[in-house]
Amino acid sequence: MLDYLVERHPKTKILILSGKAGPSDVADLLTQYPVIGFVEKQSFTPAAIINAVEQASRSPSLKIQTLGQFQIWRDGQAIGIWERPQAETVTKLLLVRRARGARAVAADELITRLGPDADEESGRKKLLPLISNARRTLEPDIEPRDSNFILRGANGYYFDVSKTVSWDLLNFREHLRLGVQLISEERWAEAAAELEKGRAAYKGDFLAEDRYADWAIGIRREVAADYCKLLTHLADAYAALGQFGPAIDACETALDKDPLQEGVYRRLMRFHACNGEKGRALKVYRDCLKLFEELFGESPTPATRQLYQAISADQPVDCPGQN
């Protein structure tokens, strides 16, 4: 029977047989046929059968990287070059929609994104094979139209972020959320540890290789802003612990990402001053002043100028973690 199934129905996943099988028989089964599991006769219970079915029918695990270079791993193996680049684009479009808090992308929108000059009929004929190819790339053994990840709903196609999917963007956001919560509870060390995990997850801009794709620009800016927010919270957590070196480093990284954050300049000035680095604190202000005058034709806000004047005059500066 196994020979018949392998030859005629190679995608058969579940076959339940009852009977005797010695150790040598089991060894032959596991080496000669694509058997996923084996249940011994004395353990042939409903629970064992359910476990075998779940093992055979489970969907593969996916690890998705969208921060930096786009990459997907299936069961730990990296998916290399996609057979059809536009199938990869379809997958990205579905992920972008999920990243922005929505769910499905209408077929018409996908058609427009992939070929704005295509008419509806030819666009749909082109889209369906791309959807199928994307599904098979993620799950090579699925039947046509089947998928655990790219699904069709009433409003269009969507990417199901199930329990077998690990997505770096969602992980990054969760570390940020937990870090902010811990800061609100003044659990500074735990907050710093959580936010450092988020910092490590951010390996680059969202879908960095699609820098000029209009459908990725908005979400890329949102994620970059969240990264700067994470770094600012991280700096505050370190400062509250009196660790001004790491706090300064987090501020500098945030300004490298977005040099127009005046609040971060003030933090950096204060942390340098609290760390006994008056000269560096004053230089931070001069850098901020120069940039703002060049870009906006005006000085920083009074709060920033007042902090500069206080540091210049060696007046006491409120230092986190020293109250």
Confidence band, pLDDT 50/70/90 cuts, at residue 306: very high
**267 occurs within a structural domain:** yes
Last residue of one domain, picked from the residues 163, 198, 233:
163
Query: How many separate domains does the chain show?
Result: 3
How high is the pLDDT of residue 21?
60
Same domain? For 157 and 269 the reply is no
Same domain? For 131 and 148 the reply is yes
Last residue of one domain, picked from the residues 13, 41, 57:
57
User: pLDDT digit string (tens) for 105-118?
Assistant: 999 999 999 987 66
Alpha carbon distance 241, 252 (integer Å): 18
Same domain? For 102 and 44 the reply is no
**131 occurs within a structural domain:** yes
Last residue of one domain, picked from the residues 57, 84, 101:
57
Same domain? For 43 and 67 the reply is no
Same domain? For 202 and 294 the reply is yes
Alpha carbon distance 193, 305 (integer Å): 33
How high is the pLDDT of residue 122?
80
Containing structural domain, residue 109: 62-163
The CATH number covering residue 237 comes to 1.25.40.10
User: pLDDT digit string (tens) for 41-66?
Assistant: 566 666 655 555 555 555 789 999 99
Alpha carbon distance 148, 162 (integer Å): 8
CB contact at 8 A, 237 and 176: no
**318 occurs within a structural domain:** no
Same domain? For 306 and 188 the reply is yes
Residue 205, both tokens: 């801009």
How high is the pLDDT of residue 162?
83
pTM: 0.82
Q: Among 106-115, 120-129, 298-307, which is the least confidently predicted range?
A: 120-129
Q: What is the mean pLDDT of residues 244-252?
A: 98
Alpha carbon distance 179, 167 (integer Å): 18
Residue 26, both tokens: 């089991």
Q: Is the pLDDT of residue 211 over 70?
A: yes
**253 occurs within a structural domain:** yes
Same domain? For 6 and 99 the reply is no
Q: What percent of the chain has pLDDT over 90?
A: 72
Same domain? For 280 and 239 the reply is yes
**246 occurs within a structural domain:** yes
Same domain? For 194 and 293 the reply is yes
**141 occurs within a structural domain:** yes
CA 225 to chain centre: 15
**211 occurs within a structural domain:** yes
Same domain? For 24 and 72 the reply is no
Same domain? For 261 and 305 the reply is yes
How high is the pLDDT of residue 12?
57
Q: Is the pLDDT of residue 308 over 70?
A: yes
How high is the pLDDT of residue 53?
52
The CATH number covering residue 151 comes to 1.10.10.10
CB contact at 8 A, 103 and 97: yes
Q: Is the pLDDT of residue 316 over 70?
A: yes
Same domain? For 35 and 82 the reply is no
How high is the pLDDT of residue 58?
59
